[in-house]
Structure formats: structure tokens, C-alpha cells
Amino acid sequence: MESRRQKLINFYGFIAVAVYCAISLARADSLPQDQKKADFSVILKTMTIPLHYKDSNINSVGKLLYMGGVQITSSEKIFGGISSIVISPDGHEILAISDSNQWFLADIIYNDNNRLVNITNTQMAPIKNIITKDEDKDIVDDAEAITAVDSDGYVISFEKPHALRYFQARTSNDYKSLFSANAQKITFAPTLPESFVNLPKNTGIEALTTLTDGRILAFSENIIKDGDTSIAQGWIIGRGKMEAISYEIDPSYKPTDMATMSNGDILVLERHFSLARGMAARLRRISGISIISGQKIKGEVIAELAYPFNVDNMEALAVRQNSVGDTIIYIMSDNNFSKLQRNLLMMFKLIDNTEKAVDPVNGFKRILASDENQKK
């Protein structure tokens, strides 16, 4: 609870805490009953939303063409707090995690013009923590980011404590099977760097993505100064190493999620909140060839969402390439279980030509492989 309370303080100040606490108590009372449902079903209501509040004819922002979106509500307190998402290759399913440690799964509905208009068949289930031989639970809490590391495996980052866990699906893109998957401890490097172990509370790994070579790129919310530049601490994880990398960022923004494009470039979602401006979000594009350990990297801003554009606490990002080669981008917001915020799911098409990568984004075995094995 401390993490979500702190987020609300950061957004709204101490006035919001009273509202948050009341909602959290109600949610805590209803959670066990919701989770006892054998079919995991959750009833949601959706309504389509425009890109722009004042002019419904505006359908683009920056290099993004708006392809529809919905606002999602539910009377079931288990729903909310979406932190990170995965979209199936065909675009018909969404898998998400929430910061209350829940899996979220739903079907995405499109109209005849391929615009996102609804989600249905929604299901939720608790993320299972690892159980040791002594039957003691190795507790991790506050799931923040997820990435597919091979065709049937997923890595999730947690903030309490700072940790990574691996989950195995039964078959490729069998998201429902993750409901019964136990978390597995994973060690990517013999010794974890102090920069990761000693991250302050509530500033852990917020964004994960798998690079085309199989390694994982991770960005934290911990913003530090490097001379006159603000950087988010990050790491490249794999091949027996966890190597530092720096992500240059505007100090009023923080990275919240990222995704790997088919050509190897990285999209990074950033969020902002201030009393003067309210909520805002940015999408940056990082060249894949610039991602080198020990370096400072910076992305190009390709879109910025702020009022009067429809925006909330945008925290989750996914990308896929459709059958005709278009890059399709999905952004989802985290309402922090607060009535002051909304759950939005929005879809965009990148107005850009992106060549398809030669190698697929996968490779849990490649992540664990040594440098010597990589050279063979």
C-alpha cells in the first residue's frame, strides 16, 4: 500500500490520500471473494473515447495516428492499477499485470475499420509467488513491468523488494496458463550491481523490454543527476551480466514502460504530473544500435499527450506489427485504484516506415547464455 499511496501523493498531494485509503479498504474487503471465482471472470464496462476533448476531428498527435480507445470501469474492486501490458501478435488479446499483483486478460474488439472499440471476456487472477522446498513463500510485491523473453516465458519486475521473476506459459501466447504459473527465481549475474540493489523505495524497475538479441533492457524510476543532465538508471541484463546504462530524460518525466519494435528500435513511454500542467505523457524512440552498456542514450520524442488530448496516468505500453507492416502501438493508464484517475486503453498507428527485423524478439536461453556461447 505504501507504494500506491506515495504515487498518489506525488500526483495530487496529501488530500488524495484520504480518498485512496477509503477505496483501498473497500478493495481489501472484496478481494478474497472476487478471487474465489472459479472462472476468474471480471465484469467491466467500456465507452469509446476521442483522442481530443475539444475537437473530435483531430485524429493524430506527433507521429501517431489514433486508432480508437476505450475508458474502462468496473464495480469489482479487484480491477485497476494496470502497470504493464503485452499484446498478442494478432492483436486480439491483451495480457496485463497490476500493481496489486494480478494477471489481467481480455479479448480486444475492433470494428470494420480496424479501430479499437471494446474489450470483452475479461479475466483476472493473482500472480503466484515462488514456493521453496520448505513451503515458505518468497514474497515479492508491487508488480511493475512485464516482458516476453521467449515464445512462452515472461519476466516481471517487482518493487517490494526490487526483484525479477520468471513465469512459464504452457505454449506460445497461452496467456491463460500463466494464471497457474509459479514465479521462478532467476539470477542473471553472479553479483547484482549496487546501483540496482540499493535503489530507493518506489523507484524500482518500471520499464522492461526484450532486445532482439535476447537480452533485457530495464529502466528504473530513479532519476539522478549527471552534470547538467538528468538520467534514469538502467541496465542491460543477460549473458551472465547486469550492466549499467543511462537513459537521458527530462527531469519532470519518468519512464513507465517500453517495448521493442520489429526493427530493434525501442519505444519508451514517459509520464509527467504537475499542479500547473496536470498529467502528460511522452513517447520516445531510441535507435536499437545505440543501446550499448555504459553509454548514455536519448530518444527522439515522437508524440506528446497533454490536455486537451485525452490522457491520464499512462503507464503501460505494447507494440506489434500487423500483417501489412504497420507498427501498432497500445497505451494503457493506471488508475492507482483511485476515483480521481481513469483506466484508458488507446491504440495508435505509427506514421512511419519501419522495416521488419530479421530476428524475432525472444530468447530466454540467449539471455542466460554466456558471451562465449553467443559467439559460437
Note the pLDDT tens digit of each residue in 97-139: 998 899 999 999 999 999 999 999 999 999 987 544 444 556 7
| pLDDT, tens only, 215-237 | 999 999 899 988 889 999 999 99
Host H or E run for residue 146: strand 141-150
Percent of the chain with pLDDT over 90: 60
Spatial distance between the Cα atoms of 330 and 209, rounded to a whole number of angstroms: 15
**pLDDT for 138:** 65
Torsion of CA 112, 173, 314, 45, to 10 degrees: 60
How does residue 370 score in pLDDT terms, banded at 50, 70 and 90? very low
Q: What domains does the chain contain, in order, with CATH numbers?
A: 2-375 (2.120.10)
Q: Any idea of the CA torsion for 229, 234, 235, 236, to the nearest 10 degrees?
A: -80
Cell reading at 309? 488530448
**Looking at the predicted structure, is the pLDDT value of residue 24 above 60?**
no
| 286 CB-contact burial (10 Å; exposed 0-12 / middle 13-18 / buried 19+) | buried
Which pLDDT band, with edges at 50, 70 and 90, does 189 fall under? low
Q: Are 328 and 68 in contact (CB under 8 A)?
A: no
pLDDT digits (tens, 9 = 90+) for 260-300: 999 999 999 999 988 878 899 999 999 999 999 999 999 99
